[in-house]
Structure 1
């Protein structure tokens, strides 16, 4: 294995370990938080959808995710799955 391959593999492992989708950040969420505060904590969401002043955003994938529901610009409720 070349040095370049080892460096790339190490970078990928490090990047995965630095995910913001984790139990520590999930525990920092609270109802009433502003959408901007959530995005500062978790980064840009993977997906968002909404209508009539309500929206739902998800960070992560089908195995490990955090989902946040907003009423206007404030967190109404949130859930997570597969967090470490």
Structure 2
């Protein structure tokens, strides 16, 4: 029984690692996709290219809405600043 439990545990770990590997391989956060993003794009268009951001910070004042968004995938980090849902600046950092 103990050997069977160890085998099942090892199979579960292998399956989890495989799924995580597939998810990482399917990530939209790539230098190639970064090149498709340009100033003036809508936030929706940027999300279509890069996927939902890993993290965001939002604020608004007197009818002007701002958002700082970050996408991360391994050694790639993309940052973007939106004003009223329009891309103002963006940068790519590869470590």
Q: Please indicate the TM-score interval, normalised by the length of the shorter structure.
A: 0.7 to 0.9
Residues paired across the two proteins, number: 83
Deviations 1:2-61 (A, max 9, x none): 433322222211211111111111010001100111111112212222333232111116
Rounded to whole Å, the distance in 2 between the matches of 1:61 and 1:7 is 21
TM-score by length of 1: 0.79
Structure with higher RCO (Cα < 8 A, 6+ apart): 1
TM-score by length of 2: 0.71
Q: CA separation of 1:51/1:61 partners in 2, compared to 1, >3 Å: closer, same or farther?
A: farther
Greater helix proportion: 2
Deviation at 1:66, TM superposition (A): 0.8
RMSD: 2.3
Tell whether 2:91 aligns with 1:79. Answer: yes
Tell whether 2:60 aligns with 1:51. Answer: yes
Structure 2: 5+ residue stretches without partners: 1-6
Structure 1: 5+ residue stretches without partners: none
* 8 Å contact kept, 2:24–2:73: no
Rounded to whole Å, the distance in 1 between the matches of 2:70 and 2:28 is 12
